[in-house]
Amino acid sequence: MSPQPAAASLATPDEFRAALSQLAAGVALLTVHDQGEAGPAEDAGMTATSFLSVSLEPPLVLVSVREDSRMDELLSRVDLWAVSLLGERHRTVASRFAMKGRLSDRLLFADTPHHRGPATGAPLVEGALATVECRTEQRIAAGDHTLLIGRVLEARVPSPDGPPLLYFRGGYRHLA
């Protein structure tokens, strides 16, 4: 019989963050268009590095959103959303949508060339390496985040040229 690990030996948040910073991740912009049933229509966006494929049949993806964030609140009401996979040329866009205490999303989108996705109406970044439009299939509470599993409604590769934007060791990086 193998020994069981002690339940009390949990990694601290700093240890966990340091370990996971060694894993390079693609950078995406998660967007949603709120039709305004509870107020005026608005667009919202959030930089995400935790976006991944879940299944090919049916096509499913997963994105992680901080619990109790504005994006989490919007996505609890709106089930259509989109993801733009960012290229290295989108470093400024990624930084601006990741900032805490940032400008309003309205101002950020005014300065970010985009168009509306045909399936979701959500903003899609011009020149993105690829775009994916989704409908929420499932919401899963996971620690201090909500995992959204989305069924892919549209997937396009409008601009496959150029290197991807990567996040590694706490900063944006590029392929050598």
How much is the average pLDDT of 67-95? Answer: 94
Predicted pLDDT of residue 76: 94
**Which DSSP state fits 171?**
E
How confident is the model over 35-74, as pLDDT tens digits? 877 667 789 999 999 999 999 999 999 999 999 888 999 9
Q: Which residues pair with 42 in a beta bridge?
A: 34
Question: What average pLDDT does this structure show over 23-32?
Answer: 94
CA–CA dist 128, 87 (Å, integer): 6
User: What number of CA atoms fall less than 13 Å from residue 95's CA on the CB side?
Assistant: 9
Domains of the chain in sequence order: 29-170 (2.30.110.10)
Taking residues 126-142, report their average pLDDT: 97
Average pLDDT over the chain reads: 89
pTM of the predicted model as reported, rounded to 2 decimal places: 0.88
- Of 1-10, 51-60, 82-91, 134-143, where does mean pLDDT reach its minimum? 1-10
Which residues, at least 6 apart from 79, have a Cβ–Cβ distance to it below 8 Å? 135, 136
Residue 123: its pLDDT value, please?
96
DSSP strand pairing (145-156 vs 171-173): unpaired
